[in-house]
């Protein structure tokens, strides 16, 4: 239903010649298609939105479209393109001083760095996201950053530290009723011990942080 409404809004904006409305509708439609797994259509929508935002000089719209494209391309394994999209989005969010969007983009970039094997950069991204999330009081971004740090620690073979971060992430996700709690719970179950460990200070403890 929501997709139909967004598509209908797109048609109306096209009829009216409202280019900003078109870009917003395309961006929303692309994000919905991305979440639904319709990746080819999502890329088409998001790239069209990005082109319009660039024509209009709408930098924040560009950043949002780039973030969605970067997330999508990470999912489909297009890592160099995903890196470029996410870096551009993050630069714009920083220029605008949007700390919430920065935290979101940093966590996504951290995940990308981890899956491509750059654990030092991944940890640095999640640490920055954690600091920002705590500054602005964003529990959801804080939990994502802690989960990211835990996954970096797991990849580096530091299971005790990993469990500490993951336990803290799980506690927050459960408190706010986030669906991500189930994924973190499964990860912890595969590394179960009797008691949750004490959470270490969230700073770089391995690799090279930048």
State yes or no: pLDDT of 194 exceeds 70. no
Res. 210 pLDDT band, cuts 50 70 90: very low
Percent of the chain whose predicted confidence (pLDDT) is above 70: 82
163 vs 188: CA distance, rounded Å:
7
pLDDT tens-digit series, residues 140-156: 999 999 999 999 999 99
On whether the CB atoms of residues 140 and 190 are closer than 8 A, the answer is no
Q: Does pTM top 0.85 for this prediction?
A: no
Tell me the pLDDT of the chain averaged across its residues: 88
pLDDT exceeds 50 at position 15: no
The mean pLDDT value for 148-170 works out to: 97
Determine how many CB atoms are found less than 10 A away from the CB of residue 148: 27
Residues 42-53 have pLDDT tens digits of 999 999 999 999
Residue 31 has pLDDT above 60, yes or no: yes
pLDDT above 60 for 135:
yes
Q: What is the pLDDT of residues 78-121, one digit of tens each?
A: 999 999 999 999 999 999 999 999 999 999 999 999 999 999 99
DSSP conformation letters of 100-144? HHHHHHHHHHHHHHHHTT-HHHHHHHHHHHHHHHHHHT-HHHHHH
Q: Which residue has the higher pLDDT, 46 or 2?
A: 46
């Amino acid at each position: 239903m929501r997709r139909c409404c967004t598509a209908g809004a797109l048609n109306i904006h096209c009829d009216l010649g409202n280019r900003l409305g078109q870009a917003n509708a395309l961006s929303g439609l692309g994000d919905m298609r991305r979440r639904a797994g319709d990746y080819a259509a999502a890329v088409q929508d998001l790239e069209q939105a990005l082109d319009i935002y660039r024509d209009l000089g709408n930098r924040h719209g560009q950043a949002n479209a780039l973030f969605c494209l970067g997330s999508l391309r990470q999912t489909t394994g297009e890592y160099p393109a995903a890196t470029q999209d996410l870096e551009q989005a993050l630069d714009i969010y920083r220029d605008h001083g949007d700390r919430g969007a920065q935290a979101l983009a940093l966590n996504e970039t951290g995940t990308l760095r981890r899956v491509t094997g750059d654990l030092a950069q991944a940890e640095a991204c999640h640490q920055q996201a954690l600091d920002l999330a705590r500054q602005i009081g964003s529990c959801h971004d804080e939990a994502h950053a802690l989960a990211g740090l835990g996954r970096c620690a797991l990849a580096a073979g530091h299971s005790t530290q990993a469990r500490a971060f993951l336990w803290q992430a799980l506690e927050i996700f459960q408190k706010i009723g986030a669906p991500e709690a189930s994924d973190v719970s499964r990860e912890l179950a595969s590394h179960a011990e009797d008691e949750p460990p004490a959470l270490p200070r969230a700073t770089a403890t391995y690799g090279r942080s930048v």
